[in-house]
Amino acid sequence: MNLHPNSNGLNRRQFLDRLAKAGISITAACAAGFWFYDSKGPTLSKNDHSSLILPDFSIRVPGQKMSIVRGEDRVATLRMALKSLGGIEAFIKKGDRVLLKVNAAFASPALLSATTHPSIITEMTQLCFQAGAESVVVTDNPINDPASCFTLTGIADAARSAGARVLLPRDDFFSPITVKDATLIRNWPVLYKPFKDITKVIGMAPLKDHHRSGASMIMKNWYGLLGGRRNIFHQDIHSIIMELAMMVKPSFVILDATTSMMTNGPTGGSLSDLKNTNTMIVSTDQVAADAFGASILGRSLDELPFIEKAEAAGIGTADYQKLNPVMASI
């Protein structure tokens, strides 16, 4: 594998310029050895200077745009949240090809709440097919070995049992993406191929503490689409989360706060890190979903700059009350 910085079409000077524009310390980047792509990440051909963009998958639905349902049964709260927004038929139409972007980052069991819970993956897949979807694919680019992550989390079995196709990342699935008005995501390898021919995208994430960004929710979940030496972006974590939200315009998102990781995120590892917060959030506004999630974690927006950055970029609203969310309990 070619690990030279030119492998994604950037020379050393261009890379330095990008870091400078993003406000990242060049000294810090050098100290971390960030001149190279991660050995686990894909590289792009020297001759491939093209850059793609992801389509806009957002949809306009009549009525309410956000639902917050309290209850212990995550499948039941998900069903009610969708029903309160007009049902799955308000989002998924006959013939739709749906992509579920899950969080499969770690090879840990579902009970540790570090990844998207398999029960709601099964439920969403079944609901999409009931609404007439032609296909459903489930994907992520995990931190740990993809096959192990999708297996040990239960995500692979949950998806396949409901008829979804699981797409594990491969080098040829990545293509260079440039996000308009971004300073970080420019000609950067992104998990692009699973989005080919997709008509609807649903982001599905657990609610977690995160030692770098303060919280991992919907917008942070798009981080799993990045290839290359993506840990370089930890130097400006809040800006990269905002740019990822600029890149992905989902049809709607699901933030599962049934059991939230309150401490030691994003990996956790102990049941003592968890709290039964018994809440399910469904929204067409990913910024609003994260803003409400922050309140469950006890974080102020000042502690999570990526939320205000996303609002300033016009991605959504940090004042979720403006959406007059449907509130319910079961």
The CATH number of whichever domain residue 90 belongs to comes to 3.40.50.11440
Residue 230: inside a domain: yes
Give yes or no for a cis peptide into 266 (omega within 30° of 0).
Answer: yes
Let me know if residue 2 belongs to a domain: no
Residue 237 placed within a domain: yes
pLDDT of residue 273: 98
Lowest mean pLDDT among 40-44, 70-74, 199-203, 321-325: 40-44
Domain count along the chain:
1
Which is nearest to 201 in space by CA: 260, 266, 164, 253? 253
For residue 219, is it within any domain? yes
User: What pLDDT is recorded for position 50?
Assistant: 57
User: Residue 323 sits in which domain range?
Assistant: 49-329
Q: Give the pLDDT confidence of 41-84 residue by residue, as tens digits.
A: 444 434 344 578 999 999 988 888 999 999 999 999 999 999 99
Is 143 part of a structural domain of the chain?
A: yes
Does residue 24 lie within any of the structural domains?
A: no
3-class state of residue 121 by DSSP: helix
pTM of this prediction?
A: 0.86
Residue 315 has pLDDT above 90, yes or no: yes
135-148 mean pLDDT: 96
Contacts of 312 (CB under 8 A, 6+ apart): none
| Mean pLDDT calculated for residue range 179-194 | 96
pLDDT at 246 over 70: yes
pLDDT at 170: 96
What is the pLDDT at residue 11? 42
In a domain, 14, yes or no: no
Residue 276: per-residue pLDDT: 98
18 belongs to a structural domain:
no
* Cα 208 to Cα 296: distance, rounded to the nearest angstrom: 10
Q: What's the rounded mean pLDDT across residues 323-328? A: 97
